[in-house]
Structure formats: structure tokens, C-alpha cells
Amino acid sequence: MENGESKRSAIKQVASGRFGVTMWYLTNSDELQIKIAQGAKPGEGGELPRHQGR
């Protein structure tokens, strides 16, 4: 690369559903971002059933 640019990303992101994360992937970055989220149950749309909500 020209002007001292590098193809490697300075920031790596890892999420619970990401496959192929290796030690090399994690250690070749300046910053590591771990993304965590709570998903809804399939088919329920994240809404409470009638008997649980008021």
C-alpha cells in the first residue's frame, strides 16, 4: 500500500453470532469491540404474552 497505509483494520468487532473469530483476528487490531444484544424469541416479536403484561 502507498503512503504507509495498511490493509488491516484498526478496530475489530465481535458479536455473539459471528463465526470464524480466531486468535489472529482478535490480536491483529488496535481496538476490540464486543457487541452484545438480547434477541426476541422466534415468532413472538419480542412482545409479552397477554397473561404476563398488564
Q: What is the structure's pLDDT at 40?
A: 62
Q: How do the domains of the chain map onto residue ranges?
A: 2-35
Q: What is the structure's pLDDT at 37?
A: 75
Instruction: Give the mean pLDDT per block of 10 residues along the chain (54 residues).
Output: 64 77 84 78 63 60
Q: Write out the chain in H/E/C secondary structure.
A: CHHHCCCCCCEEEEECCCCCCCHHHHHCCCEEEEECCCCCCCCCCCCCCCCCCC
